[in-house]
Structure 1
Amino acid sequence: MAVTLALCLLLLMFLLGTPIAFALFLSTFAYFVIGADQPIALLIQRLAGGLESVSLLAIPFFIMAGVFMNHSGITVRLLNLAELCTRRFHGGLAQSNVLLSTFMGGLSGSNIADAAMNAKLLVPQMNERGYPTAFSSVVTASSSLITATIPPGIALIVYGYVNNVSIGRLFLAGVVPGLLMAAVMMGLVAFMCRRRGYQPPRRDRVSRSEWISVTRAGLIALALPVLVIGGIRIGVFTPTEAGAMAVAYALIVGIFVYREMRPANVALATRESLLSSVNVLFIICVASGFARFLTWEQIPQTITQLLASGMGSAVAFLLLANGLLLVLGMFLEGNAVLIVLSPLLAPVAAQFGIDPVHFGIIFIFNAAIGTITPPLGTVMFTTCSITGTRVPEFIREVLPFWVLLIVMLLLVTFVPGISLLLPGLVFG
């Protein structure tokens, strides 16, 4: 009875738009108060215990590194590099939007942060060059999903922690799907811009000195993902220590190389990092208490048995899991789907022999698609609120991108080599 009331309360708060952290906490608290045969002090212990992991330090470190990168002028330099690479294609600035999201995937770690930054930085420029605001907003929101799989995406760290999967392998597993998504999305943008007559290609030559200066400034920033993944692979540092190294690298580049980081910038960036980190870690904290009472009530085990007995093959399970996650993603926030459902579905995937790293990428891809899916897509609302785009206009423009993402999801789901190629080559 207690667990039923707690889950109903959780669903009700989700539908009312209650922030995920408070919805999880209140439903867990209700379970303890209504009928759990457990002392309330145990709830507090579980909430505190949910953060007793060194690997979780990677989250505030990488968030801080991404914020410091934004304040150091690196984003502008990466945009210049992206524009230089796409200037000879149809819709050069729109393609730069996609390419910048790919570059920033290794720096910001958050698709919402990436969408918000590009909505402020690029959408006004795209409007000046003749792109409709709705189209610019959709390109910005859709391309930000690349960030979810490009290391060091925060979702990769959270999934690895919650499901006890190697974060280093997840980092590598997300590289090929992320780059492939970037390539096909740039192809779709080029096709749409050609048909609609947006921003024809530029034919003027670029001087050698401009190529060298722009490329050199951009490559300094792009060295960060190489530093992170390379350091983890050769054993110089753990993912958590890699986050600390990323912060140090961002500070060095911002202060001594680009010379745009001042004490005031450092203070502001630190404050932004603190607020973002607390938000994510609080969700993990309360999710730990929520997961504990689910375990006491044998809910994960029951769901595992039902799905395992009802599904005849791994293919059927993957189709069901994708359909379930896509539908839930329309109504629930991405972190809620990740933290609440992944511990329930991951054991079933393991029973069918699905690689845990591969399933992690599938799960994260699904959660990312939900962020631009009505009615409650967080990236959709973030982008629309910044650019002033009406949601119906956004939905009309996003349909081709949504279809493309579904095709990519099916490809990643049923071709495991896309996700497992790099982890297999690097880790064996």
Structure 2
Amino acid sequence: MAVSVALCALFLLFFVGTPIAFALFLSTALYFLIGANQPMVMLIQRLTGGLDSVSLLAIPFFIMAGVFMNHSGITVRLLNLAELCTRRFHGGLAQANVLLSTFMGGLSGSNIADAAMNAKLLVPQMSERGYPPPFSSAVTAASSLVTSTIPPGIALIVYGYVNNVSIGRLFLAGVVPGLLMAALLMAMVSIICRRRGYQPPRRERVSRHEWISVTRAGIIALLLPVMVIGGIRIGVFTPTEAGAMAVAYALIVGLFVYREMTPSTVAKATSESLLAAVNVLFIICVASGFARFLTWEQVPQAVTTLLSSQVASAAAFLLVANLILLVLGMFLEGNAILIVLSPLLAPVAAQFGVDPVHFGIVFILNATIGTITPPLGTVMFTTCSITGVKVPDFIRAVMPFWLLLLAVLLLVTYVPALTLALPNWVF
């Protein structure tokens, strides 16, 4: 009875717009108040115990590295590199939008942060070059989803911690799906721009000096994800220590290479990092208490028994899981789905013989697609609020990209080699 009341309260709070952290905390506290045979002090112990893990230090470190990169001038240099690479394509600036998100995937780690940054940086420039604002917003939102799977995505770290899956393997497993998503999005952008006549290709020759200067500036930033993955692979540092190294690298680049960061800029970036990290870690903290009472009530075991009795094969289970996650993604925030549902579905996937790393990428892709899906997609609302585009106009413009992302999801779901080949080869 108590668990039913707590779960109903949780979903009710979600639907009325309560922030995820407070919804999880209030529903967990309600369970302890009305039905748990445990003292309230257990709730506090579980909340504090939820952060008692060294691996969670990777989250604030990578968030700080991404914020430092944004304040160091690296974003502008990566945009110049992306524009240089796409200037001979149809819709060069829209292509650069996708490519910039791919570059930033190894730096920011957050699709919402990437969407907000590109909406401010690129959408005004795209409007000046004749792109309709709904199309520019749709490209910005859809391309930001690449960030979730390119290491070191914050969702990869959270999923690995919640489900006890190797974060290093998850980092590598997301590379191929992320690059595949970027390539197909660029192809879609090229087709649409060619048909609608947006920004024809530039045919003038690029000077050797421009190539060298722009590429050299961009490669300095792109060395960060190489350093992170390479250092983890050869055993120089753990994923958590890689986050600290990323912060040091970003600080050195901003202060001594590009020389665009000052003590006041560092203080401002540190403050932004603190607020962003606290937001994520508080969610994990309260989710730990929520997950504990689900375990006490044997909810994961019940879900496992139900699905295993109704579904006959791994392929059928993956289809059912995708449908459930896509539908819930229309209404629930991505972090809520990741933290609440992954501990329920991951054991079922393991029972059907689905590799936990593979299922992690499938799960994250589902949660990511939900962020641009009406009626409550977080990336959709973030982008529209910055660009001033009406949500119905955005939905019409984003629909081709949404269908393309569904095709990528099906490919990743039923072709495990796309996610597992690289981590199996490297490790």
1:231 aligned to 2:250?
A: no
Cα offset, 1:347, TM superposition: 0.4
Identify the residue that residue 187 of structure 2 maps to in structure 1.
Answer: 187
Q: How does 1:40-51 map to 2 (within 5 A)?
A: 40-51=40-51
Matched letter for residue 72 of structure 2: S
**Residue identity opposite 1:260 in structure 2:** E
Report the equivalent of 1:297: 297
What's the CA shift for 1:2? 1.0
Q: TM-score, normalised by structure 2?
A: 1.00
Q: Give the aligned residue type for 2:263.
A: P
**Matched residues, percent identical?**
82
In the other structure, the counterpart of 2:420 is: 420
Q: Which amino acid aligns with 2:361?
A: I
Equivalent-residue separation in structure 2 for 1:382 and 1:195 (angstroms): 28
The alignment yields a C-alpha RMSD, in angstroms, of 0.4
Helix, strand or coil at the partner of 1:371: helix
- What's the offset of the Cα at 1:141? 0.3
Q: What's the CA shift string for 1:135-160, capped at 9, x where partnerless?
A: 00000000000000000000000000
1:381 maps onto 2:381 in alignment: yes
Name segments (4+ residues, structure 1) moved above 3 Å: none
Rounded to whole Å, the distance in 2 between the matches of 1:116 and 1:338 is: 21
Residue number in structure 2 paired with 1:121: 121
* In the alignment, structure 1 residue 22 sits paired with structure 2 residue 22: yes
- Partner AA of 1:80 in structure 2: N
1:237 CA displacement: 0.2
1:315-372 per-position Cα deviation (integer Å, ceiling 9, x unaligned): 1000000000000000000000000000000000001110000000000000000000
Q: Distance in 2 between matches of 1:349 and 1:3?
A: 24
1 CA distance for matches of 2:330 and 2:199? 33
Alpha-carbon displacement from aligned partner over 1:96-151 (angstroms, at most 9, x marks no partner): 00000000000000000000000000000000000011100000000000000000
1:321 match: 321
Corresponding residue SS for 2:372: coil
One-letter code aligned to 1:258:
Y
- What does residue 252 of structure 1 align with? 252
Determine the C-alpha separation between the residues in 2 that align with 1:322 and 1:106. 26
Q: Distance in 1 between matches of 2:35 and 2:234?
A: 50
Q: What does 1:48-63 align with in structure 2 at a 5 Å threshold?
A: 48-63=48-63
1:106 aligns to 2:106 (yes or no): yes
For 1:50, the aligned partner's letter is G
SS in 2 for 1:59: helix
Instruction: Note the C-alpha offset of 1:35.
Output: 1.4
Which residue of 2 is the match for residue 265 of structure 1? 265
Q: Which residue of 2 aligns with 1:330?
A: 330
Deviations 1:144-179 (A, max 9, x none): 000000000000000000000000000000000000
* 1:202 matched to 2:202: yes
Deviations 1:359-397 (A, max 9, x none): 000000000000000000000000000000100000000
Aligned residue type for 2:69? M
Question: What's the CA shift string for 1:12-56, capped at 9, x where partnerless?
Answer: 001101100000000000000111111000000000000000000
Taking the aligned partners of 1:326 and 1:83, their CA distance within structure 2 comes to 33
| 1:410 corresponds to | 410
Paired amino acid for 1:208: R
- Distance in 2, Cα, partners of 1:9 & 1:359: 28
Q: Which AA in structure 2 matches 1:18?
A: T
- The CA deviation at 1:310 is 1.0
- SS of the aligned residue for 1:108 comes to coil
Q: TM-score, normalised by structure 1?
A: 1.00
CA distance in 1, matches of 2:419, 2:358: 6
The alignment partner of 1:403 has SS state of helix
Shift of 1:292: 0.3
Q: Give the match for residue 370 of structure 1.
A: 370
What letter corresponds to residue 19 of structure 1 in structure 2? P
Q: What is residue 133 of structure 2 aligned with on the other side?
A: 133
Structure 2 unaligned spans of 5+: none
- Distance in 2 between residues matched to 1:4 and 1:172, nearest whole Å: 38
Aligned to 2:166: 166
1:250 is displaced (CA, Å) by 0.1
Specify the code of the residue in structure 1 equivalent to 2:270.
T
Matched, 1:4 2:4: yes
Number of residue pairs matched by the alignment? 427
1:309 Cα offset (Å): 1.3
